[in-house]
Chain A
Amino acid sequence: MQNSGIEVLFEGSNFERLLGGLLVTIEISFVSIVIGTVLGIVMGLLRTLNVKPLQALLRLYLEAFRIIPILVWLYVVHFSFTPLLNIDISGETTSILVFSLWGAAEIGDIVRGALQSMPKHQEESGAALGLSRGQLYRYILIPQAIRRMVPGAINLATRMIKTTSLVVLIGVIEVVKIGQQIIELGVIKAPTASFWVYGFIFILYFAVCFPLSRISRRVERRWQN
Chain B
Amino acid sequence: MINTGELLLEVEGLQKSFGERLVLSGIDLQVVKGEVTVILGPSGCGKSTLLRCLNGLEPVQGGRISYHGQDLAGPQVNWREVRQRIGMVFQNYELFSHMTVLDNILLGPLKVQKREPKEARQQAEQLLGRVGLLDRKDAYPRQLSGGQKQRIAIVRALCMNPEIMLFDEVTASLDPEMVREVLDVILGLAEQGMTMIIVTHEMGFAKSVGDRIVFMDQGSICEIAEPQQFFTQPATERAQHFLDIFQY
Q: Is A10 located at the chain interface by the 8 A CB criterion?
A: no
| A139 near B111: Cβ-Cβ < 8 Å | yes
- Which residues from 131 to 166 on chain B have a C-beta closer than 8 Å to any C-beta of chain A? 141-142, 153, 156-157, 160
Q: Which of B19-27, B35-43, B91-99 contacts A (4 or more CB under 8 A)?
A: B91-99
Chain B neighbourhood of A125, CB < 8 A: 88, 90, 94-96, 153
Most buried by A among B94, B95, B107: B94
Contacts A140-B96, A143-B98; is A129 near B90 (CB within 8 Å)? Answer: no
Q: Distance (Å) between the CB of B114 and the closest chain A CB?
A: 11
- Which residues from 66 to 89 on chain B have a C-beta closer than 8 Å to any C-beta of chain A? 79-81, 83-84, 88
Partner of B88, one of A122, A128, A139: A128
Q: Is B63 located at the chain interface by the 8 A CB criterion?
A: no
Q: Is B195 located at the chain interface by the 8 A CB criterion?
A: no
In angstroms, Cα B88 to Cα A36, docked, is: 41
In angstroms, Cα B92 to Cα A144, docked, is: 18
Q: Is B112 located at the chain interface by the 8 A CB criterion?
A: yes
Contacts A130-B112, A131-B108, A131-B111; is A122 near B81 (CB within 8 Å)? Answer: no
A124: nearest chain-B partner, CB-CB: B57
Contacts A124-B57, A124-B90, A225-B142; is A129 near B108 (CB within 8 Å)? Answer: yes
In angstroms, Cα B113 to Cα A127, docked, is: 13
Partner of B90, one of A121, A132, A135, A140: A121
| B83 near A130: Cβ-Cβ < 8 Å | yes
Q: Distance (Å) between the CB of B129 and the closest chain A CB?
A: 21
B93: nearest chain-A partner, CB-CB: A121
Partner of A127, one of B83, B95, B97, B142: B83
| B111 near A124: Cβ-Cβ < 8 Å | no
Chain B neighbourhood of A223, CB < 8 A: 98
Chain B neighbourhood of A143, CB < 8 A: 98
B92: nearest chain-A partner, CB-CB: A121
Q: Is B220 located at the chain interface by the 8 A CB criterion?
A: no
| B97 near A130: Cβ-Cβ < 8 Å | no
Chain B neighbourhood of A124, CB < 8 A: 57, 90, 94
Chain A neighbourhood of B96, CB < 8 A: 122, 125-126, 139-140, 144
Partner of A129, one of B92, B112, B141, B142: B112
In angstroms, Cα B97 to Cα A131, docked, is: 16
Chain A neighbourhood of B171, CB < 8 A: none
Chain B neighbourhood of A129, CB < 8 A: 83-84, 107-108, 112, 156-157, 160
Chain A neighbourhood of B112, CB < 8 A: 129-131, 135
Q: Is B55 located at the chain interface by the 8 A CB criterion?
A: yes
| B111 near A121: Cβ-Cβ < 8 Å | no
| B97 near A225: Cβ-Cβ < 8 Å | yes
In angstroms, Cα B83 to Cα A121, docked, is: 16
Q: Is A177 located at the chain interface by the 8 A CB criterion?
A: no
- Which residues from 99 to 116 on chain B have a C-beta closer than 8 Å to any C-beta of chain A? 107-108, 111-113
A128: nearest chain-B partner, CB-CB: B88
Chain A neighbourhood of B79, CB < 8 A: 130
- Which residues from 82 to 141 on chain A have a C-beta closer than 8 Å to any C-beta of chain B? 121-122, 124-132, 135, 139-140
Binding site for B on A (CB under 8 A): 121-122, 124-132, 135, 139-140, 143-144, 147, 223-225
12 contacts across the A-B interface (CB closer than 8 A): A121-B92, A122-B96, A128-B57, A128-B88, A128-B90, A128-B157, A129-B108, A129-B112, A129-B160, A130-B81, A224-B142, A225-B98
Would you list the 5 A-B pairs with minimal beta carbon distance, nearest first? A125-B94, A129-B108, A130-B83, A225-B97, A130-B112
Given contacts A121-B94, A122-B94, A140-B96, 7 further A-B contacts (CB under 8 A): A121-B92, A122-B96, A128-B57, A129-B112, A130-B112, A144-B97, A144-B98
